[in-house]
């Protein structure tokens, strides 16, 4: 950044102070949001007693013409044009106004008028500087909805999200939709008597999903801790404790790659529903998806990655093995494992038939599941927390994942509540770990003990909240619905890293 551009503005702030104007005052009494001024504009303008309005916002356009000026200010609700005339605001105020720049925060009082060209505006009678920006905003021009020189520096938009939010209406809209999604999810579960809880992020033993964890250290206890990779196990302890409808909406952490649909920390919704099975859960998830889409978008379809996704028709419920058979001709439950292996490029040594089935699904089926689809009855080997399938108890479990647009949005089971079987499953996971599967689950003795006291039959569901937000916001990049997606530090801004290093060194 050129220092003179900043110094100019610091000098202007100083000149304001010399005029007796505080460039950083304490408060401003607003009477309206911009959108409220624009609503029923003509009726309000026509009223004899139409009192003045007071709005505040950021100056996003500025046209100075000697003794009068036009500007647009933008607040959270929208933007509106101001007409500022020296004879209306007074010579002193007008002088102060001329020291303002694009990006400064301004409060005004005035009355509604339509300008000669018909734009709903405020004729300003009083103005108040609310904050002098000393760093220039990227300059974006706009005419009749068409944007010129749009600020689209990828990366900078994520690093300086506040600029993205100021400059790109689409971005503001995406985060509003995300907020609406979260609210809709809470409302839906609250209405059905689910109790929201909060469980620890730092855990001595991580579990509930297949993933690599972040590891950290507790100095006082002198022991390692893991950031949770799922919400599952604490919530199921609550089933034991008698919360028979319970949910948590919270952040989980997985030490894996970053791409369009993955971020190392993300938001999950998990809920557990005693005395229900995974068929009940499918009914509920289907209804939940429709409700969220309808609430947030007003319709039942979403345009996503060039495809129209329709939530109206019943979501197909198909067995994973049948989908694979359809695409590959393999009978994955009966064909020899060698035949399954040969259909895959390569598979790890520890892979059992169950892992091969999962891999075949990933390679041949998943990407084509564009419309909302429940994929049911996963292999037992990759589902250590799910009940065995009542029809195929040797190889499959009662589990489903919901796919939309070719990516997974949720995962659910008829929850395993037989403590003896659960112990066996954990032992099988430990054996897999021995054979090199470093995502196999870790035996959680404390969880087993809870289950031994009796856990009700239950359905459990996990949903990727960020992905839902992404879907209804119509973007196919997760970082468009993450306010501050993870990125490498910019060059020359890594000083904090060294401090962090010395801190953690004390523990190890």
Partner RNA sequence: GCCCCGUUAGCUCAACUGGCAGAGCAACUGACUCUUAAUCAGUAGGUUCGGGGUUCGAUUCCCUGACGGGGCACCA
Window 157 to 186, contacts with RNA (CB under 7 A):
158
Closer CB to RNA, residue 272 or residue 361?
361
Q: Taking the CB of residue 301, how many other CB atoms lie within 10 A of it?
A: 12
Subset of 236-255 contacting RNA (CB under 7 A) = 254
Residues in 430-459 at the binding interface with RNA, rule: CB under 7 A: 439
Tokens 């954990």 found at:
426
Q: How far apart are CA 384 and CA 62, in angstroms?
A: 62
**Which of the stretches 328-336, 391-399, 418-426, 461-469 binds RNA when contact is defined by CB under 7 A?**
461-469
- 411 contributes a contact to RNA by CB under 7 A: yes
- Decide if residue 10 touches RNA (CB under 7 A): no
* Using rule CB under 7 A, residue 87 touches RNA: yes
Please, which residue, 169 or 419, has the CB nearer to RNA?
169
Residues 25, 155, 393, 507: which binds RNA (CB under 7 A)? 155
CB of 113 to RNA, least distance (A): 6
Interacting span for RNA (CB under 7 A) from 206-214, 242-250, 313-321, 419-427: 206-214
Three-state secondary structure call for residue 190 = helix
Nearer to RNA, 274 or 401 (CB): 401
Q: Which of 38, 140, 318, 370 binds RNA (CB under 7 A)?
A: 140
* 500 binds RNA, rule: CB under 7 A: no
One residue of 23, 375, 464, 469 binding RNA per CB under 7 A: 464
Tokens in use for 293? Answer: 């889409």
DSSP single-letter state for residue 489? P
| 498 vs 488: CA distance, rounded Å | 14
State which residue, 83 or 243, has the beta carbon closest to RNA.
83
Q: How far is CA 51 from CA 240, 263, 293, 360, 415, in A?
A: 62, 50, 40, 69, 63
Residue 84 DSSP label: E
Please name the residue that has the structure tokens 């390692």.
Answer: 224
Which residues inside 297-356 make contact with RNA, applying CB under 7 A?
A: none
Give the residue with the Cβ less far from RNA, 17 or 390. 17
* Stretch near RNA under the rule CB under 7 A, chosen from 175-183, 218-226, 335-343, 401-409: 401-409
As measured in angstroms, the least distance from the Cβ of 330 to RNA is 19
DSSP character for 114? E
Q: What is the DSSP string of 350-386?
A: T--HHHHHHHHHHHHTGGG--S-EEEE--BGGG-TTB
Query: d(Cα 271, Cα 197) in Å, to the nearest integer?
Result: 10
| Cβ distance to RNA smaller for residue 375 or 455 | 375
Q: In the set 242, 257, 298, 329, which binds RNA (CB under 7 A)?
A: 257
By beta-carbon proximity to RNA, the closer residue of 360 and 450 is 360
Binding-site member from 467, 469, 472, 481 for RNA (CB under 7 A) = 467
| Residue 63 binds RNA (CB under 7 A) | yes
Tokens of 364: 């041949």
DSSP secondary structure string for all residues of 241-285: TT--EEEEEEEEE-----BTTB-SEEEEEEEEEET--HHHHHHHH
Q: Tell me how many helices (H) and strands (E) the chain has.
A: 17, 20
What is the x/- site pattern for RNA, positions 258-287, by CB under 7 A?
Answer: -xxxxxx-x---------------------
Tell me how far, at minimum, the Cβ of 39 lies from RNA, in Å: 19
Per CB under 7 A, which of residues 11..50 are in contact with RNA? 12
Cα-based distances in Å from 336 to 355, 357, 361: 14, 12, 17
CA distances to 213, 410, 446, 507 from 221, in Å: 20, 36, 19, 10
Nearer to RNA, 60 or 180 (CB): 60
Distance CA 205, CA 151 (A): 45
- 22 DSSP assignment: -
Question: Which residues in 358-397 contact RNA (CB under 7 A)?
Answer: none
Taking CB under 7 A as the criterion, the residue among 28, 77, 78, 113 binding RNA is 113
Closer of 49 and 346 to RNA (Cβ) = 346
Q: Phi, psi (5° rounding) for residue 31? A: -105, -25
Q: In angstroms, what CA-CA distances link 370 with 93, 273, 300, 308?
A: 59, 28, 15, 9
Binds RNA by CB under 7 A, chosen from 18, 48, 117, 145: 117
Total number of residues binding RNA (CB under 7 A)? 77
Contacts of residue 349, Cβ cutoff 8 Å, sequence gap at least 6: 435, 436
**Member of 126, 280, 286, 408 binding RNA (CB under 7 A):** 408
Minimum CB separation of residue 84 from RNA in Å reads 9
How far is the CA of 297 from the CAs of 231, 292, 463, 505, in angstroms? Answer: 28, 8, 19, 49
- Is 132 an interacting residue with respect to RNA (CB under 7 A)? no
Count the Cβ atoms, other than its own, within 10 Å of residue 343.
19
Interface map 208-227 toward RNA (x if CB under 7 A): -xxx----------------
Q: Which CB sits closer to RNA, 144 or 193?
A: 144
| Rounded Cα–Cα distance for residues 284 and 278 (Å) | 10
Given 16, 105, 123, 321, the residue binding RNA (CB under 7 A): 123
Q: Which stretch binds RNA (CB under 7 A): 116-124, 288-296, 313-321, 390-398?
A: 116-124
Contacts with RNA in 470-499 (CB under 7 A)? 477-479, 487-491
């Amino acid at each position: 950044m050129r220092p003179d551009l900043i110094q100019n503005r610091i000098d202007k702030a100083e000149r304001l102070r010399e005029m007796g104007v505080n460039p950083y005052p304490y408060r401003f009494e607003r009477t309206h949001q911009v959108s409220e001024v624009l609503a029923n504009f003509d009726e309000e303008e026509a009223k004899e007693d139409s009192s003045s309005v007071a709005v505040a916002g950021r100056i996003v356009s500025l046209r100075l013409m000697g003794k009068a000026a036009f500007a647009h200010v933008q607040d959270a609700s929208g933007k509106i044009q101001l007409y500022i005339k020296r004879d209306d605001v007074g010579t002193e105020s007008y002088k102060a106004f001329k020291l303002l720049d694009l990006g400064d925060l301004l409060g005004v009082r005035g009355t509604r008028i339509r300008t000669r060209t018909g734009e709903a505006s405020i004729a300003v009678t009083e103005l108040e500087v609310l904050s002098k920006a000393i760093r220039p905003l990227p300059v974006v021009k706009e005419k009749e909805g068409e944007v010129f020189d749009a600020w689209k520096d990828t990366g900078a938009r994520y690093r300086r999200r506040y600029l993205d939010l100021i400059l790109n209406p689409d971005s503001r809209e995406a985060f509003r939709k995300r907020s609406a999604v979260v609210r809709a999810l809470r409302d839906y579960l609250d209405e059905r008597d689910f109790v929201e809880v909060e469980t620890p992020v730092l855990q001595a033993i991580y579990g509930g999903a297949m993933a690599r964890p972040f590891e950290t250290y507790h100095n006082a206890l002198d022991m390692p801790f893991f950031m949770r990779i799922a919400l599952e196990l604490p919530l199921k302890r609550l089933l034991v404790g008698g919360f028979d409808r319970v949910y948590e909406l919270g952040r989980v952490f997985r030490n894996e790659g970053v791409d369009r649909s993955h971020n190392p920390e993300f938001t999950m919704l998990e809920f557990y529903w005693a005395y229900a099975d995974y068929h009940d859960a499918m009914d509920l998830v289907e209804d939940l998806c429709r409700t969220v889409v309808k609430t947030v978008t007003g319709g039942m379809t979403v345009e996503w990655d060039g495809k129209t996704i329709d939530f109206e028709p019943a979501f197909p419920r198909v067995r994973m093995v049948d989908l694979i058979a359809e695409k590959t001709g393999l009978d994955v439950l009966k064909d020899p494992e060698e035949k399954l292996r040969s259909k895959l490029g390569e598979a790890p040594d520890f892979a059992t038939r169950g892992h091969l089935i999962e891999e075949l699904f990933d390679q041949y089926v998943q990407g084509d599941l564009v419309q909302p689809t429940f994929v049911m009855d996963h292999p037992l080997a990759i589902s250590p927390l799910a009940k065995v399938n009542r029809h195929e108890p040797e190889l499959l479990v009662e589990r489903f994942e919901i796919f939309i647009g070719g990516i997974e949005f949720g995962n659910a089971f008829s929850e395993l509540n037989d403590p003896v079987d659960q112990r066996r499953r954990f032992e099988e996971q430990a054996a897999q770990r021995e054979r090199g599967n470093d995502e196999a689950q870790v035996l959680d003795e404390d969880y087993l003990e809870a289950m031994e006291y009796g856990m009700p039959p239950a359905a459990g569901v996990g949903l990727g909240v960020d992905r839902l937000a992404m879907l209804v916001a119509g973007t196919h990049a997760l970082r468009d619905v993450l306010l501050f997606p993870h990125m490498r530090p910019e060059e020359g801004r890594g000083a904090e890293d060294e401090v962090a290093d010395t801190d953690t060194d004390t523990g190890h």
